[in-house]
Amino acid sequence: MGITLKTKEEQALMRISGRLTADVLDMIGAHVRPGITTDELDRICHNYIVDEQQAIPAPLNYRGFPKSICTSVNQVVCHGIPGDKVLRDGDMVNIDITVIKNGYHGDSSRMFAVGAPPPHAEKLARITREAMWLGIQQVRPGAHLGDIGHAIQVFAEQNRYSVVREYCGHGIGRVFHEDPQVLHYGTPGTGVELQEGMIFTVEPMLNAGKRHVKLMKDGWTVVTKDRSLSAQWEHTVLVTASGYEVLTLGAAERQ
């Protein structure tokens, strides 16, 4: 599959999908508290997407995934399946939302604190968010994918965190995952040259320990091999004529 440059009409539709995705994350934050299960979070998001937004939760039945959102708690790197896990005070959870509206996808994830997490967990989440933004700030026509990965990797390693390499950002549009692959490590000036109209996600996963990960028997849940904490943030980004536009900004980020 080649890289598709989105037309102005497609970009407008992607803005709608991106805004809806951000709205789900804005909504669910108030429900993230000790005592709630990840299944309950999934149900709340599913109902909001289907009933309020008249949209489709992209993960549901995607390649067999059984739920409408991903909930990745503590040492879970990504693709955590909502279930009967009860969130406890001090946990950190990544909630990953992808909404389909008018045939186009919006994709974003955020870290949420459950109660009062320890400072080291909050720091990992904060540095991961900053790393994502450093990567996004490299985006402009003529830049390269390697510039994004390099900015993220250098910042992460300066803070003594490791970058997960097995999972990456991706092109997105009518298709959930399309080219290009957006690595969160790399060398400046290498990789695909960015062009106006490209839309892709930037979604670094940083570990407090080593970068190595393990896929669990359910075929989806990815955890750190050394059981260290992991964090992830994600935005969907459009390459504009002069730089970038983030399509999945939450209400607080749009101010």
CATH superfamily of 8-246: Creatinase/methionine aminopeptidase superfamily (3.90.230.10)
Angle at alpha carbon of residue 69, lines to 57 and 215, rounded to 5°:
130
- pLDDT tens digits, 52-89: 999 999 999 999 999 999 999 999 999 999 999 999 99
Specify the amino acid at residue 193. E
Handedness of CA 196, 107, 28, 9 (dihedral sign): positive
The answer to whether residues 107 and 172 touch, using CB atoms and an 8 Å cutoff, is yes
- pLDDT tens digits, 165-174: 999 999 999 9
Angle at alpha carbon of residue 251, lines to 247 and 252, rounded to 5°:
110
Q: Residue 2 has what pLDDT?
A: 84
Q: What is the pTM of this model?
A: 0.97
Q: Where do the H-state alpha helices sit in 29-118? A: 38-47
What are the residue boundaries of the structural domains of the chain, listed by start?
A: 8-246
- pLDDT tens digits, 159-209: 999 999 999 999 999 999 999 999 999 999 999 999 999 999 999 999 999
**Mean per-residue pLDDT over the chain, rounded:** 97
Handedness of CA 185, 169, 132, 28 (dihedral sign): negative
Q: Residue 81 has what pLDDT?
A: 98
Owner of token pair 């937004």? 53
pLDDT band at 1, cuts 50/70/90?
Answer: low
CA-to-CA separations, 113 to 46, 78, 101, 118, 128, in angstroms, rounded? 21, 16, 29, 10, 14
> How does DSSP assign 184-248, residue by residue?
SS--TT-SPBP-TT-EEEE--EEESS-S-EEE-TTSS-EEETT---EEE-BEEEEE-SSSEEETT
CA-to-CA separations, 239 to 38, 108, 224, in angstroms, rounded? 34, 17, 32
- Measured CA to CA, the distance from residue 251 to residue 217 in angstroms comes to 37
Handedness of CA 217, 219, 223, 224 (dihedral sign): positive
Cβ contacts of residue 120 below 8 Å, gap of 6+? Answer: 208, 229
Q: Residue 255 has what pLDDT?
A: 74
Of the candidates 30, 57, 43, 169, which has an alpha carbon nearest to the alpha carbon of residue 112? 30
